[in-house]
Amino acid sequence: MILDLKAVPEEAELSEVLQRDWWQPSENDPILGIHTPLHVRIKVTHVGDKFLLDGRVKGSIMVRCDRCLDPFHWELESGFHVFLVSPRPGKDQAEVELLDEDIEVDFIHGETIDLDEIIKEQVYLSLPMKSTCRDACLGLCPVCGANLNVQRCQCNQEGMKPAFQKLKDLKFEGA
């Protein structure tokens, strides 16, 4: 969605539903794709040559589990505020400091804004630091790489971690 800055009224409400083909994952993209369409709503407030975007994205995306590396879908619901200003170093700096911490500042280049780029950035920012397919995900065996959610490998049974082994020994000492 391209926003023509010259045509924006003082206040505008935009909404869009982004389908699966909207996200074309790049190489090593932490987001593998869209699972259910992303619903986007953006309120644009326009004062002079400045624009404030208040947006919300909701839907679900495919990501990879940090522990077992399997893809799974993650519910995304995120609000964002982006302040768009023309790049004029010095002057903008002072204005930017007055703003709330949760307002991101982007610079306007030209007379249009690619809202898709802004939405993409917000989707990345909303990702959790660690994403796991479930709280109890067992991950991969560090020795053979087997997915321990699916199978129990031989090294897991025999090659116990030293700390675990110690704990096991302690238990038997008193018996």
Interaction site with Zn ion (CB under 5 A): 65, 67-68, 133, 137, 141, 143-144, 146, 153, 155
Between 61 and 133, whose beta carbon lies closer to Zn ion? 133
Between 15 and 154, whose beta carbon lies closer to Zn ion? 154
| Closest distance to Zn ion from the beta carbon of 143 (Å) | 4
| Closest distance to Zn ion from the beta carbon of 156 (Å) | 5
| Closest distance to Zn ion from the beta carbon of 13 (Å) | 39
The vertex-37 CA angle with 105 and 2, nearest 5°, equals: 45
Between 12 and 153, whose beta carbon lies closer to Zn ion? 153
| Closest distance to Zn ion from the beta carbon of 148 (Å) | 8
Between 63 and 65, whose beta carbon lies closer to Zn ion? 65
What helix, strand, coil percent values describe the chain, rounded to 5?
25, 40, 35
H/E/C letters for each residue in 85-145?
ECCCCCHHHHHHHCCCCCEEEEECCCCEEEHHHHHHHHHHHHCCCCCCCCCCCCCECCCCC
